[in-house]
Chains A and B, each alone.
Chain A
Amino acid sequence: MIDNTKDSRFSVKQLIVIYTIISLMSLLAVWELVARFTKASMFLPPASQVLVAFCRSFVEPIGKRTMLAHIGVSLYRVGVAFFFATIAGIALGVGMGYSRLAEAILKPIFEFIRPIPPLAWIPLSILWFGLGDTGKFFIIFLGCFCFITVNTYDGAKNVDPELIGAARMLGANERQVFFEIVLPSSVPYIFAGLQIAVTAGWSAVVGAEMIQSNEGVGWMIVRGMNTGNTVQIMVGIVAIGIVGFILANLTSALERRLCAWNEQKGM
């Protein structure tokens, strides 16, 4: 029998950290055991080996670069694409949400493009943009853009009509209604979109780097596949997972700062 009251030396926050650590350690332990003592070892390098290789990759280059440089290159590609996706997504989303005309013209096209996976565009992007970074930007852009647009559109559609009425009665013109009411009240939705999009964009980087490339975390995996180096594949996967986790947390921290007014209200 565990007496819960005696556990008060740990706060809830500390407990959450402890459980997270236990969960991760268990995953690694199971992975290690499966890789060492079952037939899966042929295709799955043990956790310890991957972790050692992962740590070494920060000092010993894989291909031409060390891990941080690879991550940097991939982040740069995602960053550029994400930047343009944000601008285009917010503009399109707010436009479609606010103007019926824009909605009628653009929504069918958007809905047609939306379900096409970014990877399906790879062959065309090579034709259109060649093998350089532009094609990679394009693929990652497609990976983020739709999420931002859909969420922004939702936000602009869901503006409280009371607030628009209140603004109009205070003398607001169309432009003021748009910039003072529609846009700010969409911000929480936009952020929800950005959060999904940054993760989606980061996932799309692997696909983008399958196109002729010699650096980046996606390349690391493709390269590992071509040379049958499972450890390198796993190292790339671990790197993508960790960076994705950090990115998701950074965006939600940013959201909490910028959307403090929306707290406890949910969406």
Chain B
Amino acid sequence: MEEKKMPKVQVRGLTKRFGDLLVLNNISFDVEAGEFLCIVGPTGCGKTTFLNSLTKLYKPTEGEILLDGEPVDLKKHNIAYIFQEYSTMPWLTVEENVGFGLDIKGVEKGKAKALVDEYLEIVGLAKYRKYYPNQLSASMLQRVVIARAFATQPDLLLMDEPYGQLDIQLRYHLEDELISLWQRTGTTVLFITHNIEEAVYMGQRILVLTNKPTSIKQTIDNNLPRPRDIASPDFVKLRNEVTDLIKWW
């Protein structure tokens, strides 16, 4: 963020109605290139609708989403998604899975192989490149999915509660891995979660959403030094701050 350039993502007055039901109410924000932005909100606050509008699955009722100053076009822009489900292809080996996105996008073979090698190394799966998904553990599968997303060198990486179903130790571990991967690659990351601690631990900035109809309640800058300590007073203070914002009771 040293240089003041055009934001990577610009969301302008995003509104979504399903019939009479207003789900997203005039949401506007920017994401800087290379930023790690966390979005938290109460359960059922329309996070999924928000994401689906971003990915063009839903057409927004009003407003627009710009990527590099142009309306999002999945044919032109390279957006990667990571969800809870380990959507690896069971008939492909680890390396083929990591290369799947590159293959789909028609990246030249030699270049694709170099990228696959690089990211297999980064996520620590180089030894397992010839394995099939049914021979791997949950955390390894999640790493395959992460490597597959990063290997496509996305303009924007969207993550929707990727660690929602994992146990705590594993989550901590993968979160750290993701942070270091992000620091290394400078990818722009939009991380959606309902887990406040996770949001405070990961993000450079936290966007807190309100209940339906969803709008932005507050944006919080998070300058805690990394690696962050979830038990430090500053961390706890920030976490409580976010928790208070989310409370609807």
A160 to B133, CA, bound (A): 15
A187 contacts across to B, CB distance below 8 A: 91
Q: Does A124 contact B (CB under 8 A)?
A: no
Total interface residues on B, CB under 8 Å, equals: 24
> Which of B15-23, B99-107, B212-220, B228-236 interfaces with chain A?
B99-107
Main secondary structure of the interface of A (DSSP, over half): helix
Q: Are A261 and B133 neighbours in the complex by a CB distance under 8 Å? A: yes
Q: Are A171 and B91 neighbours in the complex by a CB distance under 8 Å? A: no
CB under 8 Å from chain A, chain B span 136-172: 148, 152
Q: Are B85 and A162 neighbours in the complex by a CB distance under 8 Å? A: yes
A176 to B134, CA, bound (A): 23
Q: Are B80 and A170 neighbours in the complex by a CB distance under 8 Å? A: yes
B152 contacts across to A, CB distance below 8 A: 170
Q: Are B134 and A165 neighbours in the complex by a CB distance under 8 Å? A: no
Q: Does B185 contact A (CB under 8 A)?
A: no
Q: Are B100 and A170 neighbours in the complex by a CB distance under 8 Å? A: yes
A166 contacts across to B, CB distance below 8 A: 81, 87
Q: Are B89 and A181 neighbours in the complex by a CB distance under 8 Å? A: yes
Interface size bracket, A side: 20 to 34
Q: Are B105 and A171 neighbours in the complex by a CB distance under 8 Å? A: yes
B100 contacts across to A, CB distance below 8 A: 167, 170, 180
Q: Are B91 and A261 neighbours in the complex by a CB distance under 8 Å? A: yes
24 contacts across the A-B interface (CB closer than 8 A)? A165-B87, A169-B55, A169-B79, A169-B80, A170-B101, A170-B104, A170-B152, A171-B74, A171-B101, A171-B105, A172-B104, A180-B104, A181-B89, A184-B89, A184-B92, A187-B91, A259-B91, A260-B132, A261-B91, A261-B92, A261-B93, A262-B91, A263-B134, A265-B90
A-B contact sample (9 more), CB < 8 A, given A171-B74, A261-B91: A166-B81, A172-B104, A180-B89, A185-B89, A185-B90, A260-B132, A261-B92, A261-B133, A265-B134
Measuring CB to CB, which residues of chain A are less than 8 angstroms from any residue of chain B?
A: 160, 162-163, 165-167, 169-172, 176, 180-181, 184-185, 187, 259-265
